[in-house]
Amino acid sequence: MSNGPLQIKAISGHAGPVPGRDTSRDYDVCKLIDVTTCIGCKACEVACLEWNGYPFRPTVFDNTYQTMPDTAWNYYNLIRFNEHVADDGTLSWLMRKDQCMHCAEPGCLMACPADGAIVQYSNGIVDFQQEHCIGCQYCVTGCPFNIPKFNSETKKVHKCTLCSDRVGAGLEPACIKACPTGCLHFGSKDDMKELAGARVRQLHEHTSHKNAGLYDPVGVGGTHVMYVLHDIEHPELYGGLPKDPQIPWTVRIWKGPLKWLGDLAMVAGIVGLATHFIRFGPKRIEEDTKGETK
């Protein structure tokens, strides 16, 4: 990329390989969340608020380590906490950083009727443009991950931007920068898949998590936020992550056949009525001829 961040190719007097030399320079971006190394510290939640300039929201204690029940229009990023007892009686704390998944085929964008209110950048980021948002919340209907949140005062919908403003300037998202354990990674999708693959192999070989796997759901064309999960067979354990997310069939019908059939029917109706007028003309009123009684 001509306008991409400067990439070092050779270093003088440097022993060993050039850092990052073989990494993919594809323009698409991806966030990889390795939930197996997340400690639930919520530094990403704070970093998100600080970068986006939102005040901290009151926390709601629900007997877990979760900050509040759900994300909000000014709280894009939430660690979902689940205390899970496995069949063999072992206990595990499952923590998942929940935010927009930046789907390759975004249901929000498909459902949105407002010109320019949702855009998808060529690097994969799906971004809401609040100045064009009309507040209909169809994006909420289209999203399989329950991400867009409505501000009832401004009548605008907000969600994680994957820090498009930072990424556009060659920086990583704020949450990535804040993560103390390195469970958050950011780079091209190919690199993140490779990194995730290595981690999944490591989990298979060196731990008891034989079902570990990469969450990159095909139902929405893959996502630009991916998870390494201990148990890829049960993603719903991680605060309701859907196993096979899809854009709802109602939205597909509504934005697919129903739209063009309806458009066609309306145009055909107008053409048909005009043709009728040309063919048969107006009805004739029988002026005072026969049958005039008074």
Partner 1 sequence: MSAAANVRPMDTQGDIERYTFRERVMHWLTGLTYLYCLATGLAFYTPHLFWLATVLGGGPTSRFWHPIVGIVFLMGTMWMNSLWHRDMEITETDKVWMDRIESYITNHDNLVPPQDRFNAGQKLFYWLMLYGALLLLLSGFFLWLPEYIPRQAAWIRGTMVLVHEISALATIGGFLIHVYMGVFLEPGSMRAITTGYVSRAWARTLHRLWYQRITGSAPTEE
Interacting residues with partner 1 (CB under 8 A): 113-115, 132-138, 140-141, 146, 150, 152, 155, 248-251, 253-254, 258-259, 262-263, 265-266, 269-270, 273, 276-277, 280-288, 290-291, 293-294
Minimum separation from the CB atom of position 237 to partner 1 (A) = 17
In terms of CB distance, is 9 or 283 closer to partner 1? 283
Minimum separation from the CB atom of position 291 to partner 1 (A) = 4
CA distance 194 to 216: 13
Minimum separation from the CB atom of position 141 to partner 1 (A) = 4
Q: DSSP state, 132?
A: G
In terms of CB distance, is 206 or 294 closer to partner 1? 294
Sign of CA dihedral 11, 17, 19, 20: positive
In terms of CB distance, is 148 or 173 closer to partner 1? 148
How many CA within 13 A on the CB side of residue 86?
11
Which two structure tokens, joined as six digits, stand for 21? 């030399």
In terms of CB distance, is 7 or 146 closer to partner 1? 146
Return the closest-CA partner of residue 159 out of 142, 181, 172.
142
Minimum separation from the CB atom of position 250 to partner 1 (A) = 3
In terms of CB distance, is 133 or 183 closer to partner 1? 133
In terms of CB distance, is 9 or 294 closer to partner 1? 294
139 three-state secondary structure: helix
Region class of 171: left (phi > 0), else alpha (psi between -120 and 50), else beta: beta
Minimum separation from the CB atom of position 155 to partner 1 (A) = 6
* Residues in CB range of 56: below 8 A, 6 or more apart: 46, 49
* Residues in CB range of 197: below 8 A, 6 or more apart: 214
Which two structure tokens, joined as six digits, stand for 34? 């390795």
Q: Which amino acid is at 160?
A: C
Q: Are 99 and 71 within 8 A, CB to CB?
A: yes
Q: Which amino acid is at 135?
A: G
Q: Which burial class, exposed, middle or buried, applies to 23 when counting CB atoms under 10 A from its CB (0-12, 13-18, 19+)?
A: middle
Minimum separation from the CB atom of position 255 to partner 1 (A) = 10
In terms of CB distance, is 12 or 152 closer to partner 1? 152
Minimum separation from the CB atom of position 13 to partner 1 (A) = 58
